[in-house]
Every structure is written in structure tokens, then in C-alpha cells.
Amino acid sequence: MSEDLRYPVGKFNRPATALTADERRELVNQIAATPARMREAVAGLNESQLDTPYRDGGWTVRQVVHHVPDSHMNAYTRVKLALTEEQPTIKPYDEAAWAKLNDVRDTPIETSLVLLETLHSRWDTILRAMTDADFERTLVHPDMGVMTLDAVIAMYAWHGRHHVGHITSLRARSGWWRFARWRTATSTRSWPPSMKRSATTPSASR
Ligand code: NI
């Protein structure tokens, strides 16, 4: 009854202690999977569907697609700052205002899907080379306080699933899956197409 459409995968739980190697690997895998999950989530949507808010008063699908690389470019920069400086203070940004800038309205979503893929490719190279000591490095977020890179990667693994969930939950509620392009090409397969790749998909991301 009281399902909160803002949090389709639940709220972010910040880890209280250092993560294990397995937990770090799982989170890095979730971050790596985000661009493909986002591409699947919007497959086949038409322009008016892209301009539909994922909930009343929420961002449109288009705004969500452009927001994720905006956010993750900041995240990538924050990780690099924390790896190269001693506990840097990072700069928050006004995500609601960014989502209203003209590029979000005027840029094809494909541009942001490719941006997310290429950005995550660079980011993944960094994350997979990080040592235990690197994950314990810290930054200062003016609103969230001192954060380890463990907490940062946990937050952005969640963040990708969170926004993909906005789109997939809207599609489920709206019955839009049956119009997806992939389905006309692969009509004998069941939804979701990611099932095919489930062997490499962290279970928590679905
Ligand atoms: Ni966000």
C-alpha cells in the first residue's frame, strides 16, 4: 500500500565498518553493470515515454538517464581526488538544478548512455586496481562528513540500481515492456533480457 516510489531498491545503507574483499568486488561489479542495466531499462521507449515522470512530481525518464552520468562523473572525480590527495573536501552539486539545464532537455539519451559506458570503463579500471588501503582512504563530503572509499563505492553501486529501478518500476506499472524494441527482435524470450546474462549479474542489482 505505502510503497515509496522514490526508493525502488530501498534507501542507501552506509556501511559502518570496512568492507571485505568479497563485498568490494560485489560493489565494483554492480557499478560495472550499471551502464548495461540503464541501456536495457530504456530500450524501445519512445519520446513521450522518455518525457514521462517516473512518479508524480519526479524526474522524467529522460532526466534520470542524463542525471546518472552527471552524478557518476562527480563520483569518478571524487574517487580520484581521494586517491591522490589527503582527505580532500569534495564539492557537492545541485542535482535538481543540473537536471533542469538545457542539455538535459536537448541531448539525445544515447549520448548519455555512451557517456555512462565510457565513464564507467575508466572508473572500473581504477576501482579494480585499488588496494585494501586505497578503499580505506577518505574524503570529506560537506553534507555527509568523512567517507571512506568503501562508503563511496557502496553509495554509487546503490545509486545506479536506484535510478535504473525508477525506470524499470515505471515500465512495470505502465505495462510498457511489451512495446520494447528488443522484444520484437527476440520475441521468444521472456522478460527481462538481463536474465540471459544473469551469471555475471550481481543478484542484488536486480
Ligand atoms: Ni541520483
- The per-residue DSSP string of 53-81 comes to BSSTTS-BHHHHHHHHHHHHHHHHHHHHH
The rounded distance, in Å, linking the Cα atoms of 196 and 36 is: 13
pLDDT value at 201 more than 90: no
pLDDT one-digit tens code per residue, 61-71? 999 999 999 99
pLDDT one-digit tens code per residue, 139-181? 999 999 999 999 999 999 999 999 999 999 999 999 997 555 5
CA 105 to centroid of ligand 1, rounded, Å: 17
Phi, psi of 95 (to 5 degrees): -65, -35
Give the model's confidence band at 193: pLDDT under 50 very low, under 70 low, under 90 confident, else very high: very low
CA 130 to centroid of ligand 1, rounded, Å: 24
CA 197 to centroid of ligand 1, rounded, Å: 25
Give the model's confidence band at 22: pLDDT under 50 very low, under 70 low, under 90 confident, else very high: very high
pLDDT cut 90: percent of the chain above it? 83
Half-sphere exposure (CA, 13 Å, Cβ side) for 62?
17
pLDDT value of residue 181: 52
* Section 80-103 average pLDDT: 97
Between strands 138-141 and 145-148, the pairing is antiparallel
Rounded to two decimals, what is the model's pTM? 0.85
pLDDT value at 51 more than 60: yes
CA 92 to centroid of ligand 1, rounded, Å: 12
Higher confidence at residue 73 or residue 186? 73
* Section 19-32 average pLDDT: 98
The rounded distance, in Å, linking the Cα atoms of 182 and 195 is: 13
* Section 104-130 average pLDDT: 98
In a 10 Å sphere around its CB, with 0-12 CB exposed, 13-18 middle and 19+ buried, how is residue 110 labelled? exposed
CA 163 to centroid of ligand 1, rounded, Å: 7
pLDDT one-digit tens code per residue, 70-87? 999 999 999 999 999 999
Mean pLDDT of the chain: 89
CA 116 to centroid of ligand 1, rounded, Å: 14
CA 68 to centroid of ligand 1, rounded, Å: 6
Half-sphere exposure (CA, 13 Å, Cβ side) for 165?
17
Find residue 145's DSSP bridge partners. Answer: 141
CA 7 to centroid of ligand 1, rounded, Å: 11
CA 71 to centroid of ligand 1, rounded, Å: 7
CA 198 to centroid of ligand 1, rounded, Å: 25
Detail the DSSP E strand segments found in the chain: 138-141, 145-148
Q: How many CB atoms lie within 10 A of CB 27?
A: 24
CA 89 to centroid of ligand 1, rounded, Å: 20
CA 66 to centroid of ligand 1, rounded, Å: 10
pLDDT value at 42 more than 50: yes
The rounded distance, in Å, linking the Cα atoms of 35 and 69 is: 9
pLDDT value at 1 more than 90: no
pLDDT value of residue 205: 35
CA 128 to centroid of ligand 1, rounded, Å: 23
CA 72 to centroid of ligand 1, rounded, Å: 9
